[in-house]
Structure 1
Amino acid sequence: MNRRLTIIEYCRIYKVEPEFLEELEENGLVEFGTEKSVKYVLEENFADLERFRVWHYELHVNMEGIDVIRNLLEKQAHLKSEVLELKRRLGFYE
């Protein structure tokens, strides 16, 4: 079973405003679960939320910037895996 925290618990522990999490959700950057009308964060989202928290609160990046950075990192990861696949294929012909 996945560990999860309610939004209120997450905000208290990680010292973020609930509005920050709401903005992330509104911008499609993260999804929260809901049970009995209580929103919660699943453990699998903790790493992304920590990254977004640092970018926003420590580096002062706005929501649009967070989205751009996330998209660029996803593209970089995709290109990296594509390069590795091409190297693997090239090795076949050498």
Structure 2
Amino acid sequence: MTKKHLISAKEFCTNHKIEFSFINSLYEFGLIKVITVRQQVFLSVDELPKLEQILLFNKELEINLEGIEVIINLLERVQKIQEEMNILKNRLQLYEKP
């Protein structure tokens, strides 16, 4: 992964007015992935939508990390089920066409 696909965790924290310890807690809970380069912590750009969703749950809805973990896991399961349903629908259409 190139450096242009990474954002400094400290920069993210400054921009979103959160403590770095929150990022560390999310990492320890397994909710996000971080990349450490020369003792500096970075976030993948791909992680940003998920991280911003987590911040929304935490700040706006005041949901704790345990609750966020449950919500994220359920959302991932729903997405996986939707993908499986789309695959099955496509297979079914193959048999239904005259």
TM-score (norm 1): 0.90
Taking the aligned partners of 2:91 and 2:47, their CA distance within structure 1 comes to 34
Equivalences for residues 2-17 of structure 1 within 5 A = 2-17=4-19
1:17-75 CA-partner distances (Å, limit 9, x unpaired): 11111110000111111111111112111111111111111111111111111111111
Aligned equivalent of 2:37: 35
Deviation at 1:84, TM superposition (A): 1.2
Select the residue among 73, 76, 85 that pairs with 1:74.
76
Select the residue among 79, 87, 90 that pairs with 1:88.
90
Taking the aligned partners of 2:45 and 2:92, their CA distance within structure 1 comes to 39
Letter in 2 for 1:7: A
Taking the aligned partners of 2:24 and 2:51, their CA distance within structure 1 comes to 12
Aligned equivalent of 1:45: 47
1:18 matched to 2:20? The reply is yes
TM-score (norm 2): 0.87
Q: CA RMSD in A?
A: 1.2
